[in-house]
Structure 1
Amino acid sequence: MGYCLGYALIEGGDAAFSMDASAVTFGPGALAEVGAEATSLGLRRVALFTDARIGKLPPVDEARRSLERAGIDVVVYDEVHIEPTDRSFVEAARFAAEGRFDGYVSVGGGSVIDTCKAALLYATYPADFDAYVNRPIGEGREVPGPLPPHVACPTTTGTGAECTGIAVFDDTRRKAKTGIASRRLRPTRALVDPSATRTMPRSVVAASGFDVVSHALESYTARPFSTRPRASAANQRPMSQGANPWSDMGCKSALDLAGRYLLRAVADAEDEEALEAMAWAATLAGIAFGNAGVHLPHAMSYAVSGLCRSFTMPGYPEGEPLVPHGVSVVVNAPSVFRALAKTNPSRHLEAAAMLGAETRGAGPEDAGEVLATHLSGMMRAAGVPNGLAGVGYGEADVEALAAGTIVQARLVANAPCGVDEEGLRALFRGAFTYW
């Protein structure tokens, strides 16, 4: 047995890992550079993606003016769905195909950025919708070739979508959340301007912030890259390759920042230091999980979101049931980490300490409880719903939730140990309430 930067190499396992990331510009004022970035990419006609609410706020106007000053023809698409669906992806792709754009800019949260990814994919390589959707729900077809430039400009401090090749949506036909994943979908440039996040309501800060925490926790505790079978060719290594030395760096920094600044950002939307720290944490965690992949809390979240019947979150649009993505993830997380910490107690204790938990005197057998208790305490302090019961689920929903999760093969396979439907039912039952 050999080692690669502390990771044990096993017979037949992969001995190498990949490091992919968008080119990132970070800092106050970065959004004003979008015109220069588009010019450097040779763009002349650009689709500017946003949603109706964000479209009325200063960041979109600033981006549009920057592009126009650079002499670029700009057409705004502001019909992005708050939580994208297969239908909204198709509508966005139709707009992209008809517009004959040579590049794309997205200004908004993960829903906006993901919709832009899907739209430019289907406009460039038209296909039946299921063609590129993850298996086993879709065909999982590879993206045939290069995609047009995409400059992503996030306005939330959470999803990290500006650094990933993943586009997530609600499959309305199957009542499940799933996605499209390809390295080619990763935006060409990411302009992360913390000042563009000042318009977030408290509930959005909380939901997006816990998405950051979950990205980092899941990537840090995912199956090691070295346990995955060696790829037959370099370009066949999966994007979600498992925990690795590159992703570990981003996870650790993101957890430390979230532990110090998340609750501050939730408490005071004018706390510029906290918002800037969380924007950087989101970027770091996005780069990390874009290379390592997440696992069960996210896999379970797809069912939680897809089966939602009546819950609505304050601060989000009313009129339709909606469990915000970050909330749908974190309501599962304490249960998962409590149960799976035994796979690598030291990593779970380290993660708890980075989030600010007291770990002195804690042994391997305490790792799951320490991390789960600290995480649920952060959730309670931030006003996040109390587990699955807090978003409207009960015992009668366990079967459907487990069935909606097991099909998320890419995520389930990235867990640190094998999990079947019976195991998922137990994890869901452990996630009903935490306090």
Structure 2
Amino acid sequence: MAAAAARSNATRLLSLIQSGANACPCHSHAHSHGPTSGAFSSLLKYGRNYASAKETTDYAFEMAASNIRFGPGVTSEIGMDLNNIKATKVAVYTDATIAQLHPLKAVVESLEKHKVNYVVYDTCRVEPTDTSFKSAIDFARQHNPDAFVAVGGGSVIDTAKAASLYSAHPEADFLDFVNAPIGKGLPIRKKLHPLIAVPTTAGTGSETTGTAIFDYEPLKTKTGIAHRALKPHLGIVDPLNTRSMPSQVHASSGLDVLCHALESYTALPYNQRSPRPKDPIERPAYQGSNPISDVWSLHALKMVVEYLPRAVKDPEDLEAQSQMLLAATFAGIGFGNAGVHLCHGLSYPISGLNKTYKHPGYNVDHAIVPHGVSVALTAPSVFRFTAASCPDRHIDAAGAFGADTAHIKESMAGEVLAEKLTRFLEDLGVPNGLSAIGYDSSYIPALVEGTLPQHRVTKLAPAREPAREQIAAIFESAMKNY
């Protein structure tokens, strides 16, 4: 009864917050996303708002993404790619599981066929930490490669990004490039050695982005490094490399794509974000929603809704697997330029504080809440909270789940989207809220404290960054979802 009362109070607080929210000026009109007019009309709308932008907010956005090569079997070309960039020594990063599977074997086969000199680091940690990053960095500094290859999921790709970054900056302290306020958040001014990313999961989109995420153990929370210089030189997106994923890994990876798409589409508009950079190199990778990222994010969302249930249900559904791999890349291009917001900001302490829960389907020797699960658990509560700021965007998102958008009132946008999300998560067998992975209301203060430093993402919540009490209410509401 006490838990039910607490959830009721949280729901009332969320409703109060929503009712008092001002409409987001850049998102507060109906949108057209038709094939001929959507992107152009959206661009005009953003442009009109530029005239009223304050000098303290940004006035421009940048579009950056890795080169992407997609196709079954394209991993066999990687040896030629490395010869084409005249690599003389290559550091190949992977994890202990992928080291025994087809993706790494295909990479090594190509390297040897094309006489590429390489060394292998096969102990990347799933859900990396500052400690595991430092071990990977030490390996790079020891071997001094002039190119990197990452074969694995987002954890491996992010680890290789960190190894490349710090091997190019031997004088740097580890926290120099880590996002503020945990680190100094310094811009990357040196040219890094090229990194070729070979994703083996359909989730993070890390093959397209300039972001590397890890658990910062001293604070028991996740943070990261974000800069365009971290983007891989090339992403080799090969559907043959995801066939070995267990069903639960398909589900978790796909949930990350889902939240990447939803959060980037509903993020604060780029010309509402502050501060305006004094130098273009200071413009963050996560800039806020913009008319180019919108196209990628919304399309990725529709792909997830259509193909993720199929990929989870049937490991032999190669079409669904291939389409989810594309969706991950599409969403990566979207959120890699727009950014994510509250689902990700709240997820970091959910993962960081976990000491006992081990998600099924993950062959690891430590407690783990997979990243995709940690972002999805709060998603229904988050979008109830954010809907009042840009209801039209939340209505668009509900439409991707099959809702009749013509009959959704703006005042109901958050509730409709949350209900669609809840049913989607339930059908995929996602744990029923935070309580299902071992949390109760007594953990909320610590979860809030772990969220507050995540400025890089929480400041991109549409129209406003939530206060401590609002974050607590979202966590309370997410204790049970269905």
TM bracket, shorter-chain basis: over 0.9
Structure ID, larger Rg: 2
Name the structure 2 match of 1:232: 278
Aligned pairs for 1:169-184 (under 5 A) are 169-184=214-229
Shift of 1:238: 1.6
1:40 aligned to which of 77, 80, 84 = 84
Matched ranges for 1:252-263 at <5 A: 252-263=298-309
2:402 partner letter: G
Kept in 2, the 8 Å contact 1:44–1:71? The answer is: no
Q: Distance in 1 between matches of 2:107 and 2:44?
A: 42
Matches within 5 A, 1:74-153: 74-126=118-170, 127-153=172-198
Q: Does 1:371 align with 2:417?
A: yes
1:51 equivalent to 2:90? Answer no
Distance 1:277 1:317 in 2: 25
**Matched letter for residue 161 of structure 1:** S
TM-score, with length taken from structure 2: 0.88
Which of 178, 202, 207 is 1:162 aligned to?
Answer: 207
Paired AA for residue 257 in structure 1: M
**Among candidates 250, 255, 259, match of residue 214 of structure 1:** 259
* CA displacement, residues 102-156 of structure 1 (integer Å, 9 cap, x when unaligned): 1000010000000000011111102221121111111112223110000000000
What CA distance in whole angstroms lies between the structure 2 residues aligned with 1:79 and 1:236? 33
Deviation at 1:318, TM superposition (A): 4.5
> Contact (CA 8 Å) 2:187, 2:282: kept in 1 or not?
no
Backbone CA RMSD of aligned residues: 1.4
1:216-268 CA deviation, whole Å, 9 max, x = no partner? 00000000011124332333322111000110011111011111111001101
How much identity, in percent, do the aligned residues show?
A: 47
1 CA distance for matches of 2:126 and 2:323? 25
Q: Give the CA deviation at 1:15.
A: 2.9
Whole-Å separation in 2 of the counterparts to 1:188 and 1:242: 24
**Matches of 1:17 and 1:85 in 2, distance apart?**
31
The equivalent of 1:196 in structure 2 is: 241
Bigger drift between 119-128 and 227-236 goes to 227-236
1 CA distance for matches of 2:254 and 2:346? 18
Structure 1 CA distance, aligned partners of 2:107 and 2:43?
Answer: 43
Distance 2:365 2:140 in 1: 27
- Rounded to whole Å, the distance in 2 between the matches of 1:352 and 1:70 is 49
What amino acid is aligned across from residue 44 of structure 2 in structure 1?
A: L
| Structure 2 equivalent of residue 5 of structure 1 | 44
Letter of the 2:284 counterpart: P
Partner of residue 70, structure 1? 114
C-alpha separation between the residues in 1 aligned to 2:230 and 2:471?
A: 30
Structure 1 contact 132–143 (Cα < 8 Å) conserved? yes
For the residues of structure 2 that align with 1:147 and 1:318, how far apart are their CA atoms? 31
> Is this contact kept in 1: 2:168–2:190, CA < 8 A?
no
Query: Shift of the alpha carbon at 1:401?
Result: 0.3
SS at match of 1:24: strand
Q: Distance in 1 between matches of 2:364 and 2:53?
A: 53
- Give the AA of the match of 1:328: S
Alpha-carbon deviations, 1:30-76, whole Å to 9, x = none? Answer: 21111121112111211111000011001101011111212211111
Structure 1 residue matching 2:288: 3-state secondary structure: coil
Match of 1:422 among 447, 469, 473: 469
Q: Does the residue aligned with 2:178 lie in a helix, a strand or coil?
A: coil
**Greater RCO (Cα-Cα under 8 Å, separation 6 or more):** 2
Q: Equivalents in 2 of 1:341, 1:42: separation in Å?
A: 50
Is structure 2 residue 317 aligned with structure 1 residue 274?
no
Say whether the 8 Å CA contact 1:5–1:245 is kept in structure 2.
no
2:310 is matched with 264
| 2:93–2:122 contact (8 Å) kept in structure 1 | yes
User: May I ask how many residue pairs the two structures share in their alignment?
Assistant: 435
Contact 2:53 2:271 in 1 (8 A): no
The corresponding residue for 2:355 is 309
Q: Give the aligned residue type for 2:410.
A: P
Distance across 2 between alignment mates of 1:356 and 1:169 = 35
Tell which deviates more after alignment, 34-43 or 158-167: 34-43
